[in-house]
Structure 1
Amino acid sequence: MNVKPYLDSTYLKTASQAGLSEAANIVVVKNTIDEAILEGFKLVMIRPEYVSLAKTTILSAGSNLLIGTVIDFPEGKSNLETKIKEANEAIENGADDLDFVCNYQAFKEGETALVKQEILIGTQIGLANNKTVKWIIEVAALSDKEIIQLSALIKNVVLSNFKEENYASVFVKSSTGFYKTENDLPNGATIPAVMMMLENASPLPVKAAGGVRSYEDAVEMINLGVKRIGTSAAKTIADGENTTNHIK
């Protein structure tokens, strides 16, 4: 199986997180973009401040590579105004996919009206600009019951407010890859979590991010029904190798 069309090649570290200078970090970003173009991946997923760089690079290469970026990353607890501002700036700079971090903490605290409102408005902004929207629910921070409930909540908001033709453009996504777990527990997509998402988000598509560390893992996720995979080791996976890196 050719997994490349499913892969969102990802680099979301700041310079300080990577232990690099700003200039050196930009080199890593540029290399990630160049590799994604060369390898024919679906998309390159980068931080908002690098979207313009990606757009220029991709246009210069005559490539069809898509650009994705994250909104309210990685905690998702900013107010709706902040989320909207970040989304509009990303659209203006040339992003194709907007990966919003859902306010999962608010959801856990029972503030479902707040969460529904941000999903509605964020999705409206994306779809109105012909963008793909993904809602990151951060499965490692949720119980099984909460994974089921939040996946269903996102689905219900979309099904109640948008046309069927839009469903394929609104994803439920597992993880940021930056959540800190205790005792080295998985902080990204697991088979049980993804199965719960698939069952309860359908007909919305699901993106598995984090935890996919080999070609075999990727194929298993695709066979389950996942439509996109976020990974910081896209080439390693596509080449059929394993990686022990943390995958974003």
Structure 2
Amino acid sequence: MTLSRTQLAQFVDHTLLKPEATPADVEALIAEAADLGVFSVCVSPSMLPVTVPEGLAVAVVCGFPSGKHHSSIKAAEAAMSIAQGADEVDMVIDIAAAREGRFDEVQADVAAVRKAVPEGAILKVIIESAALSDEGIVGACQAAEAAGADFVKTSTGFHPAGGATVEAVRLMRETVGDRLGVKASGGIRTAEDALAMIDAGATRLGLSGTRAVLDGTGSTDSY
């Protein structure tokens, strides 16, 4: 696969989710995102509202990073984020429910947030793929799709089990077909990593070290 630097940048949610992040850090993130030409910035909901240049989307996380929040709390957080200007919400499921095969509960959790995220706003569902078996990944993706999600997403980037893998992305893409987007996030640090995820089926990438990925191994033209 060959992508120009500009094309690769448009896959990217430029992300800052560190708990110590300040408003000044977020302002710097937005400025860098505009310079790099990425698709969006992804921030914590407490950082909203933010001012972004035209063409740059705003994503926030919800129930992050543990997913161990009541669905009503996740829904309220998502609704407030949209009201404060977010275009996209990346919610975390209850990982234990997926690990134990309680996919009806996963679906209900996602559905509660979907109800709070109006039509036209994007809902991504973080399944924490590294913490799940293949069966868990498939079941979580199916539950997310049944609940009306727009994307399934591999990881928070905060779980000790790890982040995105090519194998998980491929399995997620096989499960949702071309009906949903697939976002790979967590541990993607090079252009080669990014392209491998896209080749496996990712249509969005969550990156915190975006400039380093786009710089690749010295090339500034294409990958």
| TM-score (ref. length: structure 2) | 0.89
Alpha-carbon deviation of 1:80?
Answer: 1.1
The residue aligned with 2:17 is 12
Q: Does residue 104 of the first structure (1) align with residue 95 of the second (2)?
A: yes
User: Residues 241 and 14 (structure 1 numbering): CA distance in 2 closer, same or farther, change over 3 Å?
Assistant: farther
List structure 1 segments (4+ residues) > 4 angstroms apart after TM superposition: none
The residue aligned with 2:221 is none
SS at match of 1:89: helix
Percentage of identical aligned residues: 34
Counterparts in 2 of 1:125-136, with a 5 A limit? 125-126=116-117, 128-136=118-126
**Residues 15, 206 of structure 2: 8 Å contact kept:** yes
Q: 64-73 or 218-227, which moves further after superposition?
A: 218-227
The residue aligned with 2:43 is 46
Unpaired runs of 5+ residues, structure 1, are 16-21, 159-168, 182-186, 243-248
**Residues 15, 208 of structure 2: 8 Å contact kept:** yes
Q: Does residue 64 of the first structure (1) align with residue 55 of the second (2)?
A: yes
Counterparts in 2 of 1:112-123, with a 5 A limit? 112-123=103-114
The residue aligned with 2:174 is 199
Q: Does residue 149 of the first structure (1) align with residue 139 of the second (2)?
A: yes
The residue aligned with 2:78 is 87
Unpaired runs of 5+ residues, structure 2, are 219-223
Q: Does residue 31 of the first structure (1) align with residue 28 of the second (2)?
A: yes
SS at match of 1:29: helix
For these two proteins, the number of residue pairs brought into alignment is: 212
Alpha-carbon deviation of 1:241?
Answer: 4.1
Alpha-carbon deviation of 1:226?
Answer: 1.0
SS at match of 2:66: coil
Q: 1:177 aligns with which of 135, 154, 157?
A: 157
Alpha-carbon deviation of 1:129?
Answer: 4.3
2:147, 2:70 → 1: CA distance? 19
Structure (1 or 2) with the greater helix fraction: 1
Aligned AA for 2:127? I
1:211, 1:77 → 2: CA distance? 23
Alpha-carbon deviation of 1:109?
Answer: 2.9
1:50, 1:112 → 2: CA distance? 32
